[in-house]
Every structure is written in structure tokens, then in C-alpha cells.
Amino acid sequence: MTMTETDARPPADVRAAIDEGRTALGIELGSTRIKAVLTGPDHAAIAVGSHDWENQFVDRVWTYSLEAVWEGLQGCFAALAAEVRSRYGTELRSVGALGVSAMMHGYLAFDAEGELLTPFRTWRNTNTGDASEQLSELFGHNIPHRWSIAHLYQAVLDGEEHVGRLAHLTTLAGYVHWKLSGRQVLGVGDASGVFPIDVTTGGYDARMLAQFDELAAGRVPVKLAGLLPAVLPAGEAAGTLTEAGARLLDPSGTLQPGAVLCPPEGDAGTGMVATNSIARRTGNISAGTSIFAMIVLDGPLSRTHPEIDLVTTPAGDLVAMVHCNNGASELNSWAGLFTEFATALGVSASSGQIFETLFRSALTGAADGGGLMAFNYLSGEPITKLHEGRPLFLREPGSALTLGSFMRTQLYSALATLRIGMDVLQKAESVQLDSMFAHGGLFKTEGVAQKLLAAAINTPVSVGDLAGEGGAWGIAVLAGFVTARQPGQSLADFLTTSVFAGAQLDTAEPEPEDVAGFNAFMQRYVAALPVEQAAVEHS
């Protein structure tokens, strides 16, 4: 049974599992939506709830308020509980296990009384360039702009007053977990976006901790290890849902405390779980507001690359991450424009129909985009060394402006920065992949973005019934792993034998014409990067 086949089971059996607490609840705070998934004993989804939200750009910082966090979590849980009530005729009074996931990285800083010292700084901010550069050189290890340690050291460099009152810092998932359980911990995957992990010990790298303490002596009030959350691997219990935590999720008082919590994870790690991409030489690409690839490595890379982040799976294995700040948001904006045009013509079409039509038209476009060019940069993009973004569309005077070539160009643009990073892995490091799985909203239209991605990375790309509910389901699986794990069982074995047995995949092979077309597009894309830079500098 796959996780989406909920209707195949008798409602009475599902209701019994709910009433007896033989369930796992996963909640993920994504960039545009907070989602909750309740799973049964077989790890299949039995109910879903969600709440839409959006970041704000305040004082040139991308942020979410903590009030919005809890309003969204409560709305999400209420929607989930309502679906349980509607479908199964019972109340969601308890769950056996619970997990929290959220967008990785960023900076949430608190004082000794637990008060937030500065607004939440999300992964999307790229104002940490000086810190990123200095720490990368000091450690001999790439420190991306969005990592928590880069945010902390940038605050030190900028002389921010709050640093002197800092008692602990964490990620968004770590913050929510702390409030639900009382424990300041992180899953190793999420922790690897806070500070470099030593994969031999499973904890923060001791050498680099000491280097940072020496660098920041007299400017940070305590040693760094005292500021960071504890690190736990998948499968370890990370506390229980407290009474106060239960009320934060469900102010109605229906949800009872006591659920076992798994270590909180980042959305990259839950995406790996949701696509069964935990084993070495496997990988996945997630495309939403951002787009990123996660490749589980056989061993360390030969040298540091600024385009590649080294993080870990939730089990602690080394992962090469190619993270692009800009994904499908600009595509969504163009779809909105075409929807508005259809409405002006008096044509009624759903957003799904609009996307389907636009994406399918891309298959009719010129293989190289036909002389059209686009940049999807709503925010800065570190891989191409741009601290801010300006969405652009431009074309050569002799090019044919057709819908097919326009949409192919927009889709190519969403994949172009990812290709730059993948070239480092595949060409400079000769990283080998046995499988690549793609998931996210970009791949909902069957056979379009999947086909173009296969061309972009010249690798077969699979999609399928693995990740229909995404990272929220992935963190529910990790929660279930805590309670269902057999002695000595690895996460990879648990996924293969207990969760994904019989899963169906559709694989697209790269087609030579598309590969050649994307390569030609990339030559023009790199050549046109100064145009994007000029737009940032002059607008």
C-alpha cells in the first residue's frame, strides 16, 4: 500500500488506530504552506490539514513573525482534526508519535528568558556575505549565506547589540520542537545547516567550534557549543509532547500530551525521507519556492566548492547539497498573469488547467529556448554571486516569441542555477548516481518538468507515488521510526522494507535533442548573467 491509498482501508480500522493512538503526526512549516499529515500503523497518510502563509520583507530582511508561526500551526492542526472528524467520525485526542520539520537554516536567537532577540531571519536572506566568506576560509569548509552560523557571525561583524544577550539559537523546526517538548535539540540533518557536522562523531565539528570561539572571543558571551541545540540522529526519542505544547497546537484542549517526538528536521531531510533517497549514491531534487538537489555521497569531496553545501541525511550520512534560492515562484507569477488574461476574455479556468496548459506548451518550444532568456531571481542567488534578485525576461530581436518557447525558457530558467551546481558534482568531482528522484509542485504536470530536468542534468529522473504529501509525510515517517524501529535497524532499511515496498516510479531518460538544447541555453544564460547583475545595480 502506498501512502496515498487511504480509501482502500475500512474506515473502522482507521478509526480504531486513531482512537488507540497508533498514529504518527508530521508537521512541516514550508515557505508558503504549513502542512500536517497523520499516518496510520502502515505509515500511509490517513488525514491531511494545511494553512497558507507567506514571508514578509521587513527592513530588507525576509522574515515570519512568531505569532504567524503559532497562528499557522493551530490553523493547520484544526484543519487536520476537522478532516479526521469528517472522514472517520472521531476526535483526534492523541497521537503515538509526533515530528516537526521546517525550512532549514536561518536564525532564531533567544536570551536567557527565552525571549526572541531579533526577528526570525530566514534561509532566503543573503546579507551574510562577509561572514560566509570569512568562515569558509577559516574552516576550509563552505559556509553558505543562509546557515545559522553565518547569520550569527554577521551579527557579530555588524556589532548588533543583541549578540551580548544571546543564550541560545536554533532553526524554525528546533524552535517549534522546543515549545512543544521543552527540549532544545535538532535532528542531525537540520543541525548540519546550523554548523558543520563531523560525520564520524555525529555532532558539531570540534575543530571548527574551537576556531569560532577563538575568532569571536570577547564578542560572543559564551562558547558556541553552549549556544547550539543538542544533535540527535533519526530513530532517537527527542522528548514528549507536554501539556503546554499540546495547548499550543490545539487550544481547544482536545489533543492530549504524551506523544513521543522524533528529532526535529529540516525540509531537505524530510524530502530525502519522502523520496526514499537516504542510501548512498541516491539523490533527490525538490522544486518549490527554492529548488535544491541532495546527493548522498560515497565519501568526502576532493576540495571545498562554494556551490556545494555539505550537510547530512537525518541518519547522519554525508550529503552534497546544491541549494538555489529561487525556484518556481516566478513561474507562479506568470501563471497568474495568464489566469488574469483568461478571466478578462471571459474564460473560466482553474489554476490547475492554467498550469497544465502552460507546461504542456513548453514541449512544443524550441529545444534551446529559441533565443529567449529569463532569470527567475526574486531574491539573491549565492551560486551566481548575486546578493539581490530582479526577475527578468529578454530576447534577441530575431527570436520568435511563441508560447512554447516562452514557457520552455521559463522552466529552463528555474533549473539553470541548479545545473551550475550539479556540473561541479558531476564533472569536477565525478560523483556517481544510481537514482535521482524529483518531487515538488514543479513536477505535478506529468512528463514536462521531469523531461526537462533529465535534460538539464543529463541523468534519468524518476517521479512517482513516493512523495505525494511531501515533507510533512516525511517527518511523520521519521516520527513513526522512533516507535516502530527494530533493534539495530537503519533508517534506509526501515524505509525500503516497511514504507516503500511496492512503490511505483516513472523514469524519464534524457533525450539527446533536449540535452543539446539545454546546453545551448546554459551558454547564453551564463553569458547574460551581467545583465541580471546590472538590473540589481540599477533598479
Question: What gap in Å lies between CA 382 and CA 325, rounded to an integer?
Answer: 8
3-state secondary structure of 342: helix
Summarize pLDDT for 479-537 with one digit per residue, the tens. 999 999 999 999 999 999 999 887 788 999 999 999 999 999 999 999 999 999 999 99
Whose grid coordinates read 513513526?
A: 480
Confirm if 444 and 355 have CB atoms less than 8 A apart.
yes
- Characterize the bridge pairing of strands 265-266 and 97-102: parallel
Conformational region of residue 463, where left means phi above 0, alpha means psi within -120 to 50, and beta covers everything else: beta
- Which of the pair, 107 or 432, is modelled with greater confidence? 107
**C-alpha 408: how far from its chain's center?**
24
Mean pLDDT of 368-380: 96
Confirm if 188 and 264 have CB atoms less than 8 A apart.
no
Please give the DSSP secondary-structure letter assigned to residue 314: T
pLDDT(440) > 90: no
Summarize pLDDT for 385-396 with one digit per residue, the tens. 998 999 999 999
Q: What is the per-residue burial (b if ≥16 Cβ within 10 Å, else e) of 83-118?
A: bbeebbeeebebbbbbbbbbbbbbbbbbeeeeeebb
Which value, to the nearest 10 degrees, does the dihedral of the CA atoms of residues 143, 151, 122, 58 take? -140
| Confidence at residue 3, expressed as pLDDT on a 0 to 100 scale | 39
CA count, 13 A, side-chain hemisphere, 291: 32
pLDDT(466) > 80: no
Which of 2-11, 86-95, 350-359 shows the lowest mean pLDDT across its residues?
2-11
Q: What is the DSSP string of 222-234?
A: S-GGGTSPEEE-T
Whole-model pTM?
Answer: 0.84
Q: Where are the beta strands (DSSP E) in 325-365?
A: none
| Confidence at residue 501, expressed as pLDDT on a 0 to 100 scale | 84
Summarize pLDDT for 260-271 with one digit per residue, the tens. 999 999 998 998
Q: At 6, is the pLDDT very low, low, confident or very high (cuts 50, 70, 90)? A: very low
- Characterize the bridge pairing of strands 97-102 and 108-110: unpaired
Sign of the CA dihedral 17, 19, 20, 25? positive
| Confidence at residue 468, expressed as pLDDT on a 0 to 100 scale | 59
3-state secondary structure of 75: helix
Q: Which fold has domain 268-326+422-508?
A: Nucleotidyltransferase; domain 5 (3.30.420)
- Which of the pair, 386 or 6, is modelled with greater confidence? 386
Summarize pLDDT for 331-357 with one digit per residue, the tens. 999 999 999 999 999 999 998 999 999
| Confidence at residue 467, expressed as pLDDT on a 0 to 100 scale | 55
Q: What is the residue type of 341?
A: F
| Confidence at residue 262, expressed as pLDDT on a 0 to 100 scale | 98
Conformational region of residue 106, where left means phi above 0, alpha means psi within -120 to 50, and beta covers everything else: left
Please give the DSSP secondary-structure letter assigned to residue 386: B
pLDDT(4) > 50: no
Enumerate the CATH 3.30.420.40 domain ranges in the chain, comma separated: 268-326+422-508
